[in-house]
Chains A and B, each alone.
Chain A
Amino acid sequence: MPEPLRLFQPTSIEEAVAVLAELGDDAKVVAGATALTLLYRQRLIAPGALVSIGRIPGLKTIEVVDGELRLGALVSHREVELSPVVRGSIPVVADAFGKVANVRVRNAATVGGVMAESDYASDPPAVFVALDAVVDVQGSNGKRSIPASEFFVAFYETALEHDEIVIGVRVPVPPAGTGAVYHKFVTRSSEDRPCVGVAGVVRLHADGTVADLRVAVGAAAETPQRFRDTEALAIGKPLDADLIAQVADAYADQVDTLDDMRGSAWYRTEMVRVWVRRAIESAAAAPAR
């Protein structure tokens, strides 16, 4: 018989980090356990120890402080989806979490979990990248903050050190007049993971020229894809069909799309072109808050 799986249930972040520091990659952090159970049952991981962080207090906050929405690591997807605080500050975040899987998974899966798993086909990462969110983590050397755009490194790989855990995500509340949307395009069934997911953020000046334009594409490549040089080209120009097509084409050219059962690389490239355009159009038309 293999060594029995050990279960640790620390009651503070410091305790959890200390266990991780000592056990290294043999230990896996678990919160809602949806991703971990799937990977374990499919024998894609075989940890010797689980470090459950569910008993750590203080990781379930949802609040707006100093112009940013703060989500604790243990907040469930469903809680984000339904939260009046989220809906009242950055509704696209609630919208994106509400589009994940089904109500059962959303009741269990957490904000910290979806970040730390870094599954290319999860919905929230692209939204966090588009909104310039910051991931707060804590390890043996204390706390640090990582921009969401640098947090996702590759397939199931993040910038986390082995002794670090995600403690929360902070999202700057966009200025009034900003429209933000998340389009989830699925190819198989309504509750499937996306073939392509696009988050778009647009703010226009009174004269119709672009004050702010941000686009992040999820599920099409290993990590959420955002091209700041392309975004910058749009600033100050009138947001017309030509400009939108230019941005959409540039994204289609630059995203190194992958093949999976939800779509081929060629198909994904074309869908990036379509959904980037639609995301910009609908973000521009989204009601200002």
Chain B
Amino acid sequence: MTAEDTVAGVTARAVDGDGRISITLQVNGREQRIQVRPHHTLLEVLRNELGLTGPREGCGVGMCGACTVLVDGRPVSGCLLPAALAEGHELTTIEGLEGPNGELHPIQQAFVDHTGFQCSYCTPGFILTSKALLAEQPDASRDEARAYLAGNLCRCGSYVKILDSVMDAKERLKG
């Protein structure tokens, strides 16, 4: 059941009996059609509707980076973006990084090789943010990486090894 709802000539997104609208998201290269309420965050939808549990809720207020999603390659907080407003953009979660045969992305492999994590709760966010950093600044210095990653928090305190991982990933991506 949908209800037509027009105000001043502008039609609201049609809702079903449960107050949900139908949206289409491009997630990790695949088109996903799902029903969401307009206030549902991208984080909630990725986890609960699409089963993508790489993005995690940490602080819920955009400060910790555990819910990082790449939107057209740029990191954003999944907890602060209504999923409906993510339509029309290319979304990438950590699940979208591995190669066709399941091989890890070079940044993921660098984190494994340097043990750039302890509990790993923050790791998907760090890896996605590092991917955006190295796309924007392929020659990022350690200090530049530190500044770019300042908004990703690791409560275990693995920052030194995380930066080691990012610096090594930079070399791997240059091949």
Interface 0/1 of B96-132, CB less than 8 Å to A: 0000000000000000000000000000000001001
Q: Which chain B residues border A6 with CB–CB below 8 Å?
A: 5, 12-13, 15, 38
Q: Which chain A residues border B79 with CB–CB below 8 Å?
A: 37
Q: Are B80 and A37 in contact (CB under 8 A)?
A: yes
Interface 0/1 of A10-40, CB less than 8 Å to B: 1000011011011100000010011001101
Q: Which chain A residues border B74 with CB–CB below 8 Å?
A: 78, 107
From known contacts A5-B37, A101-B151, infer whether A18 and B80 are also in contact, taking CB-CB under 8 Å: no
A6 to B14, CA, bound (A): 8
Q: Are A105 and B151 in contact (CB under 8 A)?
A: yes
Q: Which chain A residues border B62 with CB–CB below 8 Å?
A: 34, 38, 101-102, 104-105
List residues 125-146 of chain A with CB under 8 A from any CB of chain B.
Answer: none
**Segment touching A, from B25-33, B63-71, B154-162, B166-174:** B63-71
Instruction: Pick the contact of B150: A23, A50, A102, A107 (CB < 8 A).
Output: A102
Q: Are A7 and B80 in contact (CB under 8 A)?
A: no
Q: Considering residues B5, B60, B77, which has the most beta carbons from chain A within 10 angstroms of its beta carbon? A: B77
Q: Are B80 and A34 in contact (CB under 8 A)?
A: yes
Q: Which chain B residues border A21 with CB–CB below 8 Å?
A: 8
Instruction: Pick the contact of B13: A9, A18, A38 (CB < 8 A).
Output: A9
A191 to B63, CA, bound (A): 8
User: What class of interface size applies to chain B in its complex with A?
Assistant: 35 or more
Q: Are B81 and A37 in contact (CB under 8 A)?
A: yes
> Nearest CB to that of B71 among chain A residues?
A107
> Nearest CB to that of A98 among chain B residues?
B147
Chain A nearest Cβ from B33, distance in angstroms: 16
A12 to B142, CA, bound (A): 44
Q: Are B68 and A104 in contact (CB under 8 A)?
A: yes
Q: Which chain A residues border B68 with CB–CB below 8 Å?
A: 104
**B10 within 8 Å of A (CB atoms):** yes
Chain A nearest Cβ from B19, distance in angstroms: 3
Q: Which chain B residues border A49 with CB–CB below 8 Å?
A: 7, 12
Q: Are B7 and A8 in contact (CB under 8 A)?
A: yes
A34 to B8, CA, bound (A): 27
**B175 within 8 Å of A (CB atoms):** no
**B39 within 8 Å of A (CB atoms):** yes
A50 to B39, CA, bound (A): 9
**B52 within 8 Å of A (CB atoms):** no
A19 to B74, CA, bound (A): 31
Known: A33-B82, A40-B39. 9 other contacts (CB 8 A): A1-B19, A4-B15, A5-B19, A6-B12, A15-B8, A18-B7, A34-B81, A105-B151, A108-B77
Binding site for B on A (CB under 8 A): 1, 4-10, 15-16, 18-19, 21-23, 30, 33-34, 37-38, 40-41, 49-50, 52, 54, 78, 101-105, 107-108, 190-191
Q: Could you list 11 examples of A-B contacts with CB < 8 Å?
A: A4-B15, A4-B20, A5-B19, A6-B12, A8-B10, A34-B77, A38-B61, A38-B62, A41-B60, A103-B132, A191-B150
